[in-house]
Chain A
Amino acid sequence: DIQMTQSPSSLSASVGDRVTITCRASQTIDNYLNWYQQKPGKAPNLLIYGASSLRSGVPSRFSGSGSGTDFTLTINSLQPEDFATYYCQQTYTTPPWTFGQGTKVGVK
């Protein structure tokens, strides 16, 4: 199975900060990489699919990049509603489609 490793596991940031989360796959996954945001007690919410395609309705301060094994989620000018946990997921070839362990973005 393909393993996904996110870093950092948690970070502290302030409103207005630029935040970067990385995700590394144990083998190449082309651009089959999705990013989700999850708030406590809620279901995950898709932000970005195909490594860099922003889902309609998601603020443009969110962006994704990367291909192959290394990927990045960037949040420009962090807003109060962005404090949450973020997960990457690979959907390359056949399942299992594994998630990273998550990155919690907390208040500094």
Chain B
Amino acid sequence: QVQLVESGGGVVQPGRSLRLSCAASGFSFSTYAMQWVRQAPGKGLEWVALIWHDGSNKDYADSVRGRSTISRDNSKNTVYLQMNSLRVEDTAVYYCARDRSGWLHSSDIWGQGTMVTVSS
């Protein structure tokens, strides 16, 4: 079935790095743009980053631009989020989601999320 599975979360000290992964299955991964969305504990959703289907274009939220890099490996059906210089305010559940460009860029498939805790 169509599925996204995130991994790579954990507890990390401020200033350190972490790479999140999102493995896709059940659909033609290389034809879809992919996104990362995060949710701090008890807070709302925050859009984080987008990568086009072929990796040719990437966009970031101001809160992570310059510290994070979204990438993908279409041969492995996987999208990544490399996060550097982590801050306490980056603590959140990170979801990857499939972008439906034909549905006005709504996110129709979501992973279960991976928790990132930034704490000393």
- By a beta-carbon cutoff of 8 Å, the part of chain A in contact with chain B is 1, 31-32, 34, 36, 38, 43-46, 49-50, 53, 55, 87, 89, 91, 94-102
Contacts and interface: CB of A to CB of B under 8 A. Distances in A.
B31 interface: no
B57 to A, nearest CB: 9
B113 A43 contact: yes
Contacts of A46: 106-108
A76 to B, nearest CB: 22
Contacts of A99: 44-47
Interface in B9-57: 35, 37, 44-47, 50
Given A36-B107, A45-B110, A95-B47, 20 more contacts: A31-B104, A34-B103, A34-B104, A43-B95, A43-B112, A49-B100, A49-B106, A50-B104, A50-B106, A55-B103, A87-B44, A89-B45, A89-B47, A89-B107, A94-B59, A95-B50, A95-B59, A97-B35, A98-B47, A102-B45
B46 A43 contact: no
Nearest to A6: B44
B59 A49 contact: no
Interface residues on B, range: 20 to 34
Contact of B44 (A50, A96, A100): A100
Contacts, number: 69
Contacts of B100: 49
Contacts of A44: 37, 45, 95, 107, 110
A32 B59 contact: no
13 contacts: A38-B45, A43-B112, A44-B107, A49-B103, A49-B104, A50-B106, A87-B45, A89-B47, A95-B47, A95-B59, A95-B60, A96-B61, A96-B62
A53 B37 CA distance: 22
Nearest to A29: B104
A87 B103 CA distance: 17
A55 to B, nearest CB: 7
A87 B111 CA distance: 17
A97 B47 contact: yes
Interface in B55-112: 59-62, 95, 100, 103-108, 110-112
